A and B are shown apart, each in its own frame.
Chain A
Amino acid sequence: MQLTNTQFRYGGVTQMLHWLIVLLIVAQYVLAELAEEAGADKAAHPAAALEQLALLARHKSVGLTIFGLAILRFVWRWISPPPGFPIAMPRWQIIAAKLTHYGFYGVLFAMPISGLVMSAAANYPVSYFGWFTMPNLVAPNDSLKELMEEVHETLFGVLVVLASLHIVAALKHQFVDRDDVLRRMLPWTSR
């Protein structure tokens, strides 16, 4: 498999980053939901508080991983530009696609940053899988913590909207336009 992107196809590096980030976002959602359940349970069961702590620690570490991968992918775009849009694609669709793609980058950067600020504001420093501790971005601050929590949740909503658009568009390209836009991001198909 070719590692760099070509004019017609995404290379191995971009494909790996794309699908790894998808996988980790799903894991993030599951961890966040489990942590929320444990959080709701902890008044009745003190053990749930420790479980919530452990789940959130994982959530933060996975989030930092996604942050790192998103930065890599953004840098890689400049080193190895993505394939162009199909010639038949209308201008408005190209604009929509670009907006969605840059929107993804925006969310993938803003979500971990808002999470880091939230943790620092709550005086819950973040360890990356027990390997190293992130510096606190801000001093403890209750109202900032609340604000960042809202921002983090809102960004997740934006991410869901973007992902829905992205998936619907990919399927439309595959089954309506019958072009290779989806296939070129799939590792097991060749041109």
Chain B
Amino acid sequence: MKALSVLVALICCASAAAEPNRWTIDYGASRIGFTAEQAQASFEGAFATFDAEVRFDPEALTESRVKVSIDTASIATANKERDDILKGTGWFESDTFKAAEFTAHEFVRAADGFEARGELCIRTVTAPVVVRFTLTETDGRLELRGTADLDRFAFGLGLGDWADTKWVGQTVHVAVTLIGRR
């Protein structure tokens, strides 16, 4: 019995020890940007404020996990009118839903890097999202670059008056750059 509890304790410690360290993120150099389409022309934007808990190690994929919390009110598309619409009713509703959250526990190696299979929650809608990313490390400086194509309807964004995809594109291309150290 005593041996068993020691064993359990060992396993727990072993798995806890295996969890990759949380990266120290350089937010000044990191970016969550996106390209969307409006009136049949694409424009760029970004979320200025977010919090990223990245515990990713290519040597410990099973134990890796990522959680990114995005301040929806920090959406910035260099156009105040559009920003206000995106923060408002039918879109992010930032007054009520402060953050959108991406979590991923499943990581696999892909042809040109990795795939994070996770979930993104915007307002009350959660849908699966696959982020393809590459990781480079130079002198301890980690650079993660990922992309994902999101279907705005999968998250119930811009239904009703804004649903016409001719004027507001359905797919939003997200590009993430996270710079950090272990």
Contact = CB atoms under 8 A, between A and B. Distances in A.
B161 A46 contact: yes
A142 B162 CA distance: 25
Interface stretch (A12-20, A53-61, A72-80, A170-178): A53-61
A7 interface: no
B79 A122 contact: yes
Given A49-B85, A49-B161, A50-B162, A130 B167 contact: no
B182 to A, nearest CB: 36
Interface residues of B, number: 22
A53 B38 contact: yes
A47 B161 contact: yes
Interface in A99-130: 122-127, 129-130
Contact of A133 (B41, B79, B89): B41
B40 A130 contact: yes
A53 B165 CA distance: 12
A50 B161 CA distance: 7
B18 interface: no
A123 B79 contact: yes
B110 to A, nearest CB: 31
A123 B162 contact: no
Given A49-B85, A122-B79, A54 B161 contact: no
Interface in A50-96: 50, 53-54, 56-57
Contact of A127 (B40, B44, B80, B82): B40
Contacts of B80: 142
Contacts of A130: 40, 166
A38 B7 CA distance: 71
A57 B43 contact: no
Contacts of A50: 161-162, 164, 167-168
B176 to A, nearest CB: 21
B161 A57 contact: no
Given A123-B78, A124-B38, A133-B42, 20 more contacts: A46-B90, A46-B162, A47-B161, A49-B85, A49-B161, A50-B161, A50-B167, A50-B168, A54-B167, A57-B40, A57-B167, A123-B79, A123-B82, A124-B39, A125-B41, A126-B41, A127-B39, A127-B40, A133-B40, A140-B79
A142 B43 CA distance: 16
Interface residue SS majority, chain B: mixed
A47 B78 CA distance: 22
Interface in B133-173: 160-162, 164, 166-168
B69 interface: no
Interface string B77-110: 1111010010001100000000000000000000
Contacts of B168: 50, 53
A56 B38 CA distance: 12
Contacts of A134: 41
Nearest to A60: B39
15 contacts: A46-B162, A47-B161, A49-B161, A50-B168, A53-B38, A57-B39, A123-B44, A123-B82, A124-B39, A124-B79, A127-B39, A130-B166, A133-B42, A140-B78, A142-B80
